[in-house]
Structure 1
């Protein structure tokens, strides 16, 4: 029987709880107090920050991240300046022959004689190109995009923001990081890494992942922990 008279201490019937800042739901989504699902999330693991939740294998709710700066802050990375595509000069014509990077690759990779737009042979219009993303052959260059295997914006957010303009230009025009693919697939891919997008042709996915990683290693880019876990699982599956 509890005594409640003067001078006695009233026991606390409830345990003292550490305030929960971030909840990782059973489905692996990290909710902080700004999330619309925060109060509704009852089955969760508690973390003291978004970055520690993400590092544990969690992910952010859809629509939570809307620019490279917020993404860096949410995921505990160094602050990244806003991406500006004009800082990455691409499709250059360093040899001055009127054919830029795109048209030089169209010319050298065509599996058939090419047709030019005009007699000065600056712009390639027709030929025969194999798209490894789809496994299809394309005859009209207008239907092709020159894809950066490691996208410029993705590189910017994973270490490339600190490069000089000349280094960015080198990366943007490096043939090791360029593939001619169907425009629709390149635009579907956007600036996504391999944890978010893979080519629809399943038999090419392991080669694509190795290609992506080779370019990353060449330029010393790094995955964030949550991306690396996904990529490592895919690489393991490629070996089995």
Structure 2
């Protein structure tokens, strides 16, 4: 597999997932080509040092979550960085925009690796057996999926499950007529999440701990709706994992 990757990189020189700069060439014995160039990697690591305005912990160590997720009894919320919608050029924003539009292997690999580390941390701290844990995701709207043919949360969940040797089950679905949450007001998001997200008929999570994956959490209404549905279906607990939390959430009390 390493030699196949080497040949692929010779034919299609690897580029930074965030800025598209050419990455340094590596021989098959040097290991895996990184996903980010040194400049973007440094920027990402700087964003990981951002602290929560509520608990003062670094974002990756912070467990704070939007009120609706807390009321839904979400067991925990792990995120890698903050999403800042007013600053589109930030490295995390560029990566998120990319995975929404393209099946970019290096971007997915980089983000899934970090989410997998957080999943492993939950397993260790909660002393969970892998056979008792399943991974699922908050599905994209049908309209958004048809635009690009990509469900970024599903792909992230698949990779996290594979990295952590866990089972991945698509437990949730979107009803027809649902809108993209990002286009709605806070009140509209609550109504939309309640009316557009449901359990699949064959969904089975009874007696399981569920890791619920998404790319961005803004108001938390979608995650809250999913948490309630999964708990009603018999899940022991639901842990939310996301690439980013909206920066607005870092100062909510």
Relative to the length of structure 1, the TM-score reads 0.26
Larger Rg: 1
Which structure has greater helix proportion?
2
Relative to the length of structure 2, the TM-score reads 0.25
